[in-house]
Amino acid sequence: MVEPNRPLIVAPMAGGPSTPALVTAAAGAGALGFLAAGYKTPEAVEDELRRVQGVPHGLNIFVPVPAPADPRPIEEYRRRLAPEAERYGVELPPLRLDDDDHFAAKVELAVAYAIPLVSFTFGVPDRAVVRALRAAGSAVLITVTSADEARRALAAEPDALVAQGGSAGGHASTTDPRAYRGTSLAVEVLAEVRAVTDLPVIAAGGTGSAEDVRRLLAAGAVAVQCGTAFLLADEAGTRPAQRAAMLSGEYRETVVTRAFTGQPARALRNRFTDAFPDAPVGYPAVHHLTAPIRAAAAQRGDAGALNLWAGTGFAAARPGPVADLVETLAP
């Protein structure tokens, strides 16, 4: 498995923040960055892979989530979203219940480009997928949020696991989105996962300082994955409205919400999360429903209807070059 000079990984952040520039700068600072394949076409993913060739890097891929057995809660949610669509002058799309996010094509790209590290989120890939990647020279990581998920992941024979605490920003990799509450700390999930495997375990969630990183390394993590701490990096593709929101001082807390995508995710609490606290489970169907609203809000610079993904350590995030942020976080 590729090891950075510093035991620090810049997390894959889908939706724009993770860019080739961010990955390249992370490598230059002795850390390791991940591209995020989620939400992108295979063509867009390949373009980014070409731009980081020769640079140590990883690629994160979303494991397809089965279509909901009962679409009625999502149909009802579509009706509830109508006033939001009217507010932003957009049309809500028809329900799109079955979408694998071009999973097979993205795995093929990872194999073809022999990506050093390939991580998976939202579930466990088939063992044949893992073997194909390993045969191509990739090390395979699977993200888990509990010991039970770790046990299921081990059946696929990965090289390492990512233990994601509930304090992490963005989507939780939980396979039980109805029960997930996001109350666990990274150190707690790390301990749970290490208790069921001797594989290397990377810890993720809630890190905002070098002391946070040191604590997780001392608890047995081989590396610490940080995302929120790099949202304001000069090289990140974070939307201007989110940058402004994080720097405004007006946002004081995060919440775990399904309002934007149907999958639990930690975000800055805003008008939209307050309006839809009981959004249904249904990724990626809910993601496709709210996408036009979020796009219009971003264009207006209105953070009230944006998915402001952020972990519990968001208040410590600072703008600046990736190299400076790595220096601040690395023990």
pLDDT at 331: 79
Integer CA distances (angstroms), 165 to 43, 54, 327, in order: 32, 32, 23
Tell me, yes or no, whether 280 and 145 share the same domain: no
Q: 245 lies in a domain?
A: no
Q: 193 lies in a domain?
A: yes
Residue ranges of alpha helices (H) inside 142-284 are: 147-154, 186-194, 210-218, 240-248, 271-275
Tell me, yes or no, whether 115 and 178 share the same domain: yes
pLDDT at 45: 98
Q: 126 lies in a domain?
A: yes
Token pair recorded at residue 190 = 């790390």
Give the single-character DSSP code of 260: T
Q: In the chain, which residues have pLDDT < 50?
A: none
pLDDT at 151: 98
E strand spans, the chain: 8-10, 32-36, 57-62, 117-121, 139-144, 160-164, 170-171, 201-204, 223-226, 254-257, 265-268
Q: 3 lies in a domain?
A: no
Whether 322 contacts 1, CB under 8 Å: no
pLDDT at 2: 57
Residues 157-174 as b or e (16 or more Cβ within 10 Å = b): ebbbbbbbbbbbbbbbbb
| CA–centroid distance for 212 within its chain | 19
| CA–centroid distance for 187 within its chain | 18
- Prediction pTM value: 0.96
Q: 214 lies in a domain?
A: yes
pLDDT at 132: 98
Tell me, yes or no, whether 219 and 175 share the same domain: yes
Segments forming the whole domain that contains residue 294: 67-98+252-307
Q: How many domains does the chain have?
A: 2
